[in-house]
Amino acid sequence: IGSSLTFASCLLCFTGKPIFSVDIHPDGTKFATGGQGEDSGKVMIWNMAPVLREEDEKNENIPKMLCQMDNHLACVNCVRWSNNGLYLASGGDDKLVMVWRRAAFIGPSTVFGSSSKLANVEQWRCVTILRNHTGDVMDVAWSPHDMWLASCSVDNTIVIWNARKFPEMVTSLRGHTGLVKGLTWDPVGKYIASQADDHSLKVWRTVDWQMEANITKPFSECGGTTHVLRLSWSPDGQYLVSAHAMNNSGPTAQIVERDGWKTNMDFVGHRKAVTVVKFNPKIFKKKQKNGSSPKPSCPYCCCAVGSKDRSLSVWLTSLKRPLVVIHDLFDKSIMDISWTLTGLGMLVCSMDGTVAYLDFSLDELGDPLSEEEKNSIHQNIYGKSLAITSTEAQLSTTIIENPEMLKYQQERQNSAQANSGPGSAGPESSAPKLNSVMNGESLEDIRKNLLKKQVETRTADGRRRITPLCIDRSPSCLQGFLPGAVQQRSNLAFGLLHHRQGPGGQQGRVCSLLLTSASKIEPMKALDSRFTERSKATPGVIAAISSTAGLTPLDRPKDPIIPPKDTKTKEDTSSDSEDKMAVINKNLTFGKRKPDLLMDGGEVVEKKKKGRPRKDKMATTITQPFTQTIRVAAPPAPVAVLKLPTPSTQKAFSLQVSMEPSVFLEVENEVSLVAGSKLSQLRCSRDGRDWDTLLPSSVVTAAGSSDILAVACEDRMLSVFSSCGRRLLPAIQLGTPVSALHCSAHFVMALTAGATLSVWDVHKQKALVKNESLLTILTGADTTVSQSLLTQQGVPVIGLSNGKSYCFSSSLETWTLIADKGDSLVQCADFRSCLSTHDAPVSSGPLAVMQGRNLNAGRLASRLSSTPHHLQQSMTLAFLENQLASALTLQSATEYRYWLLIYARFLVNEGSEYRLRELCKELLGPVHKSAATAWEPTALGLRKRELLREVLPVIGENLRFQRLFTEYQDQLELLRNK
């Protein structure tokens, strides 16, 4: 094979009957096959875990087959999962398309009428039967975002079904004069392509369902036929590759360029007709060698080709030869191919009744681009993705299928009306209107942009500034590939052929896919150069693909007075462009807005007003035991040993260490002199009961909780007592004098003058943090500790004089940043619309204490009226994700739940389905356990599935997500019934 490629051939028992179709579920946990049963068509759903891992295959407790459905009356030719994974569509020789969906367990779990003891682990039921075809259904395909389902048949037609309102039919495409055997959607939803036995490939527009192109030349020589003609569209939308084509009497897979539907290239080398072509869902870029400096590399695609000659070839568009060819993989023709969503695994099925799994590595394929980068490519080439621009009217007439969903929709409308009553502060405070957000932009914004094509902002003095919006609608400058050296083609030589045979009987030339030509550039290269050049010329344009690290940051305007221009070259778009987050420069400068804002080193600073101090500046007695502020003298000149200030020794002092129960502590130093040493007395009163003890050195500082008391003495000894006076730990010798001491629950924290930190769990008699140096966070000579605290979970938190707060994570064994008062994300994040009236704000948690009143739900957001929507959205998203991560590290469960719900509301408001699905998936966890399952059912003691139950009503407020809502609500019900 000439590659480290590994593949396992997994025989899935179909009693030797052909398997005509295979498809992997989007979440990668299961896959479906379709074929011929004994007396019916068979659809089967299999568990992926035993295919991927040998130990799971041998484990009898892990099921291999999850469900078997025998409802089709004749052979099943195609099975396809919807993009959201909620539905499975199957088409068969009984002229029917069936749509399946997971159901709760009903009745017996064995397959009805089967003699075998096969038990269904999952129950899938047919929710709709689509009847219109008058002949065998050969292929089915879901459009991007599952708006439509297409099916094609030997009745020469293609039927488009409305997937939002089954069994409604949108249209029937007629034009083929032979059996239609393959379908594929353009990834941005603009076209659907079909291939038939009439020796033609037709491209249809989705905007009016008319034919865009009819390609016949590559197929004119084709004799004979194949059972299927599964063609495929590349994930960047630039190429359509057909099945069964011919060149010079040799079988090929024809490459059709989107630009002008040119047919200058094909994949050659298979000895018999190509039956199936399948593009990898990912776009890749060259993998960087460890330690090497990143070189500019062009994104490329990966394509698998299967043939009647029983062999499989895998191609990268950056190589002129196939990456790998596997001969005689099966005993009969290859019927179907399915990639995993990660792009690293592939299932191939054959007429001989077996399925093979192939496993690739990143070294072989390259580094996949993220969804954001992929969306950015779509947006930059095609503008708005038609797959998602269903109009407001369409959404408002959407039938609400789920009664629970209807309840949340009505609640939302009621609250919107209540908020827009006479007492409200105007339209801004009311809840967002139903369906008001599409694809990360409000419909109002889209409407305005379509009308104006320009951006209007106000300058500091109130004048309007209008920036024309540059929309590049030019056809992409894709000129085909650079022709390489002439080479004789034999049936065995795999290569990419360029230029068909001319009238003079010339041999086809092998095309080089190396991206080096200046005049004719490979499309993805053209995209790269075109956009990076433009971004140099125009400040504020996002480069499509950066050669170093994905998306390039926004160019900052040179003049701080001019607000950043709207950086969109086109309207926000495509499959998940709502998740395309611009990289934000932390010290992004904003123009002056109001006189009470001062520019200071590129950061926005509030002027201090005269008069009484703000509330957050006033120390309260109640928080004394929880946080301790250390008064710091003017920082001395930097010295070799870094020191923190230490409390001075007093003759006597007292403090209250707990309110409930009431615990008071009194210290009196040098009460008596015994054998040359001065004794100090510690007296404690707990709910009226007193005890006292003596210590051989003066007490410098003390701290306590309702459970324990800790005192540090001048001789650097630390003693810990129970609240009844019993010594709990032997005296601990500290390396340097103590700077701050804290107790919380049964944890003790000591911060020393030598800038080291230790935390002990007194119950377990164990160190959680051991002499950890603060040197890593004390950057700069004048930075010192201004605040320190210990949480109820024993997590130490340090606030510095530069406005940053860190906590030490004992699980990660490192300092983590949890708050930064100078962070522009904190100041500019706007999540006011996501705050719920039901949730009381968390003001007492450690995260809130460290962030203080600084966190004011976008206190600058209103002044940043010129900030583009997607930039504001990016900042808010980044901020909310920081809050979630910080609450997790601090082990603050109430704050984690609070910010999780705000985060979910924000994703729903912004229409960010990709992240919302990821969040739900993490909270739900795997439905079937396997050896590789690392999912934890709880987070900070909160049950994740209970959190999902709280998140679902939030999702239920946006009608756009009703499929997502129903899917996860059903999964929760299933798990509850188990």
pLDDT in tens, 249-274: 899 999 999 989 999 999 999 999 99
Domain annotation covers residue 736 = yes
Cα(593)–Cα(606) distance, integer angstroms: 12
Q: Mean pLDDT over residues 778-782, rounded?
A: 79
Based on the domain organization, do 734 and 787 belong to the same domain?
yes
What are the Cα distances from residue 453, in Å, to 381, 445, 552? 18, 11, 24
Domain annotation covers residue 684 = yes
Tell me, what's the pLDDT at 197?
Answer: 93
- Which residue's structure tokens are 């994930």? 235
Domain annotation covers residue 890 = yes
Q: What is the 3 state secondary structure string of 102-146? A: EECCCCCCECCCCCCCCECCCEEEEEEEEECCCCCEEEEEECHHH
Angle in degrees, CA 659, 662, 668, rounded to 5? 110
Q: What percent of the chain shows pLDDT beyond 70?
A: 70
The DSSP secondary structure of 602-670, one letter per residue, reads TEEEEPPPSSSPPGGGS--GGGTTTEEEPP-PSPPPP-SS-----PPP-SEEEEEEETTTTEEEEEEEE
Q: Mean pLDDT over residues 955-959, rounded?
A: 87
Closest CA to 822 of 588, 555, 478, 579: 588
Tell me, what's the pLDDT at 701?
Answer: 95
**Dihedral, CA atoms, 721, 727, 728, 733, nearest 10 degrees?**
90
Helix axes 523-537, 371-382, angle to 10 degrees: 80
Domain annotation covers residue 887 = yes
> Residue 354 above 60 pLDDT?
yes
Tell me, what's the pLDDT at 542?
Answer: 35
Closest CA to 76 of 126, 134, 138, 133: 138
Based on the domain organization, do 837 and 960 belong to the same domain?
yes
Q: What is the 3 state secondary structure string of 66-112? A: EEEECCCCCCEEEEEECCCCCEEEEEECCCEEEEEEEECCCCCCECC
- What pLDDT band is residue 931 in, cutting at 50, 70 and 90? confident
Residue 453: both structure tokens together: 């094509």
| Least confident among 225-229, 678-682, 851-855 | 851-855
Between 387 and 50, the higher pLDDT residue: 50
Q: Mean pLDDT over residues 710-736, rounded?
A: 92
Angle in degrees, CA 26, 28, 29, rounded to 5? 120
Instruction: Provide the greatest CA pair distance for the chain.
Output: 117
Closest CA to 358 of 6, 3, 1, 2: 6
- What pLDDT band is residue 976 in, cutting at 50, 70 and 90? confident
Based on the domain organization, do 830 and 943 belong to the same domain?
yes
Based on the domain organization, do 895 and 971 belong to the same domain?
yes
> Residue 704 above 50 pLDDT?
yes
**Dihedral, CA atoms, 899, 903, 906, 910, nearest 10 degrees?**
170
- Do the beta carbons of residue 822 and residue 603 sit within 8 Å? yes
- What pLDDT band is residue 617 in, cutting at 50, 70 and 90? very low
The predicted-structure confidence for 25-46, as pLDDT tens digits, reads as follows: 998 999 999 998 877 889 999 9
- What pLDDT band is residue 734 in, cutting at 50, 70 and 90? very high
Domain annotation covers residue 841 = yes
> Residue 130 above 90 pLDDT?
yes
Per the structure, the count of domains in the chain is 2
Based on the domain organization, do 793 and 863 belong to the same domain?
no
Mean pLDDT (the chain, rounded): 76
Based on the domain organization, do 893 and 781 belong to the same domain?
no
Based on the domain organization, do 951 and 834 belong to the same domain?
yes
Residue 55: both structure tokens together: 């130990």
Domain that holds residue 895: 824-975
Q: Mean pLDDT over residues 575-589, rounded?
A: 36
Distance of CA 976 to the CA centre of its chain: 27
> Residue 766 above 90 pLDDT?
yes
Q: Mean pLDDT over residues 82-90, rounded?
A: 93
- What pLDDT band is residue 486 in, cutting at 50, 70 and 90? very low
Domain annotation covers residue 3 = no
Q: Which residues pair with 46 in a beta bridge?
A: 31, 65
Domain annotation covers residue 762 = yes
- Do the beta carbons of residue 433 and residue 409 sit within 8 Å? no
Question: Domain of 666: which CATH number?
Answer: 2.130.10.10
Handedness of CA 372, 378, 380, 386 (dihedral sign): negative
Tell me, what's the pLDDT at 419?
Answer: 66
Helix (H) or strand (E) holding 869: helix 869-889
**Dihedral, CA atoms, 254, 256, 262, 264, nearest 10 degrees?**
-40
Cα(153)–Cα(179) distance, integer angstroms: 6
Cα(797)–Cα(785) distance, integer angstroms: 11
**Dihedral, CA atoms, 578, 583, 587, 591, nearest 10 degrees?**
-50
Report pTM.
0.52
- At 222, give phi and psi (nearest 5°): -60, 125
Of 770, 801, 832, the position where a domain reaches its end is: 801
| Least confident among 200-209, 483-492, 687-696, 965-974 | 483-492
Tell me, what's the pLDDT at 772?
Answer: 92
Between 492 and 239, the higher pLDDT residue: 239
Of 801, 835, 863, the position where a domain reaches its end is: 801
Based on the domain organization, do 666 and 787 belong to the same domain?
yes
- Residue 71's contacts (CB-CB under 8 Å, 6 or more residues apart) are 40, 41, 43, 98, 126
> Residue 9 above 60 pLDDT?
no
SS3 10: strand
Tell me, what's the pLDDT at 838?
Answer: 66
Burial (CB < 10 A; 0-12, 13-18, 19+), residue 818, is buried
Q: In the sheet that 677-686 helps form, which strands lie side by side, from edge to edge? A: 652-658, 663-674, 677-686, 689-695
> Residue 86 above 70 pLDDT?
yes
Based on the domain organization, do 782 and 833 belong to the same domain?
no
Domain annotation covers residue 149 = no
Q: What percent of the chain shows pLDDT beyond 90?
A: 43
| Least confident among 27-31, 75-79, 513-517, 937-941 | 513-517
Tell me, what's the pLDDT at 907?
Answer: 92
Collect contacts of 685-689 with beta carbons under 8 A, ≥24 apart. 686/661, 686/662, 686/723, 686/724, 687/661, 687/662, 687/663, 689/724
Residue 553 preceded by cis peptide, ω within 30: no
Based on the domain organization, do 750 and 786 belong to the same domain?
yes
- Do the beta carbons of residue 671 and residue 679 sit within 8 Å? yes
Residue 707: both structure tokens together: 């459970």
Tell me, what's the pLDDT at 839?
Answer: 64
- Residue 702's contacts (CB-CB under 8 Å, 6 or more residues apart) are 655, 657, 665, 667, 682, 709, 710, 711, 712, 741
Based on the domain organization, do 939 and 858 belong to the same domain?
yes
Closest CA to 175 of 148, 223, 210: 210
Cα(69)–Cα(44) distance, integer angstroms: 6
Angle in degrees, CA 864, 391, 151, rounded to 5? 130
Cα(24)–Cα(48) distance, integer angstroms: 9
Tell me, what's the pLDDT at 628?
Answer: 46
Cα(211)–Cα(252) distance, integer angstroms: 25
The predicted-structure confidence for 390-448, as pLDDT tens digits, reads as follows: 444 455 556 676 777 777 877 777 777 776 655 444 444 333 334 444 444 444 454 44
Residue 343: both structure tokens together: 């792009």
Tell me, what's the pLDDT at 350?
Answer: 93
Cα(705)–Cα(434) distance, integer angstroms: 50
The predicted-structure confidence for 876-885, as pLDDT tens digits, reads as follows: 889 899 999 9
Based on the domain organization, do 714 and 770 belong to the same domain?
yes
- What pLDDT band is residue 467 in, cutting at 50, 70 and 90? very low
Of 801, 834, 863, the position where a domain reaches its end is: 801
For 22-31, give one letter per residue: b (16+ CB within 10 A) or e. Answer: bbbbbebbbb
DSSP tag of 709: E
